[in-house]
Amino acid sequence: MSVSQLSRLFPDPDALTQRMLETTVRLSDINSGSWNRDGIASVQSLLAELFEPLSDSYEARQGADISRMDGSGDEVLFTPNPIQIFRARPQAPLQLVMTGHSDTVFPRESHFQTCHTDGDLLCGPGTADMKGGLVVLAEALRWLDQSPWRDQFGFTVIISPDEETGSLSSAPVLMELARGAHYGMTYEPALPDGTLAGARKGSGNFTLTARGLSTHAGRNFFDGRNAVMAIAQAALRFSELTSEEQGITVNIGRIQGGGAVNVVPDFCQCRFNIRVDTPQQMRVLEGSLQQIIREVSAASGCELHLHGGFNRPPKPMTPAQQSMFELLRECGAELGLDIQWRATGGCCEGNNLAAAGLVNIDTLGVRGAKIHTDQEYTCIDSFAERAALSILLIQKLIQRHGES
C-alpha cells in the first residue's frame, strides 16, 4: 500500500487502526446470532453510537415476521429486531445506499464467543462478517463528514438484523431504498489478498416435509406410508437437478425423521439449498421441484409440503457493474493496491440491491477469511486500508456523477 497516500488521508494510521480494532472487538464480543434478539439489540445500540453522530435522521423500522419450519414440520413465526436506517443529506446530488448486518451465524450457545489477536489477525465471531466492515464504513463516513466532499453526497445506511438467514424480513426495505439511490456499497469482507466478489449466484433455502402413516413394521408394514422413504426419493431427485455445466447446485443439507426401526415412520423433513446463475433457472427449478413433489407424493401416498423459496436473485456482472469495479481499481492504484475480483457462488445483500436495479460493490469491508467457522479472522492491517479505499471510491463517484 502507498504509505504516503494513506498518511495523506490518515496522519496517524496506527492510532486509527487501534481505534477501529477496539471498536470491532466491542461489537464482536457480543453474541448476535440471528435468533438472539437481546444480543442483536445490544450490538444495535453500539452501532447507533457509531452512525447517529454522522446522520441527520435515524429510523428503527420493524420488518415483517420471518416464517420458519420447526423440527416437527410446523410453521412458526419469528419477529426479528428492527432494521436500522441512518440517513444524511437526502437532497445532495449523489445518493448512496450502504448496507451491512448486525447478526452473525453463531448462536447464543456457540463456544465461539470472544475475540483474540494472533499476530496481524483479529480472530473472533463476526470480526470479518461483518462487524469489522461496519467499522470500516463508519470510519470512512466520519472522515468524509469533516471534508470538503461532505455536502456533495448523501447516504442511507441500512443495517439488517437478519442477513445471515437470507434477509427475509429486510429484503423489501433494501429493495425500496435501493431504488432511490445512484450506487450501492455493501461491507461484506474481501478475501485475505483483497480480492472482491464480482458476479454472484442466486440462492434459495427450502424445507420439504412429508407426512405419512405410521404402522407396525412387522404386522402391517404394507398398510403404512413411509415418510422417510418419500423424503429420500424426493431428495435424490432434487439433487439430480444439479448441473455443473449450467452452474446449478442443489445441496441436501439435513434430513431428519423416523425413530424405532420396527415402526413405519410417519414424518420426515429435508432442508436444502439451491444456487443458480440466472433468474430463468430459478423459474425452471421451481417448476421442477413441484413436479417431483407431485410424483413422489402420488407414488408414496405421503403428503408433501414445500416451504421456502429463492430469496437472493442472481447478481450478474453487467457493463455498469464492471464500470464501477474499474473505478474501484483506480482507487486501489492510488493506494498501491492491485484490486481484483472474481465470480462467486456466495450471495449477500448486494444481490438484493442489484435486483432493484442498483449498481453496487458488496465486498468493501475488511480483508478476512474462514467466515461462518470458529476460525474466522480479520486482517488487522486492512482496517485503515479499506476505509481509505471507500473514501477514494466515494470521491470518484461524486466526480463521475457530476460529469454525467
pTM of the model: 0.92
How would CATH label the architecture of 3-199+314-403?
3-Layer(aba) Sandwich (3.40)
- Is residue 48 classed exposed, middle or buried when 0-12, 13-18 and 19+ CB atoms within 10 A define those classes? middle
Rounded CA-CA distance 174/315 in Å is 15
Helix or strand run (H / E) with residue 116: strand 116-118
C-alpha cell at 160: 439488517
Residue ranges of the alpha helices (H) in 91-170?
132-145
Identify the CA nearest to 144 among candidates 70, 54, 232. 54
pLDDT of the chain, 404 residues: tens digit per residue: 556 678 889 989 999 999 999 999 999 999 999 999 999 999 999 999 999 999 999 999 999 999 888 888 888 899 999 999 999 999 999 999 999 999 999 999 999 999 999 999 999 999 999 999 999 999 999 999 999 999 999 999 999 999 999 999 999 999 999 999 999 999 999 999 999 999 999 999 999 999 999 999 999 999 999 999 999 999 999 999 999 999 999 999 999 999 999 999 999 999 999 999 999 999 999 999 999 999 999 999 999 999 999 999 999 999 999 999 999 999 999 999 999 999 999 999 999 999 999 999 999 999 999 999 999 999 999 999 999 999 999 999 999 998 86
Q: Where are the domains of the chain?
A: 3-199+314-403, 202-311
Determine whether domain 202-311 maps to CATH 3.30.70.360: yes
Strands in 212-317 per DSSP E = 249-257, 267-276, 303-312
Which residue stretches of 94-165 are H helix?
Answer: 132-145
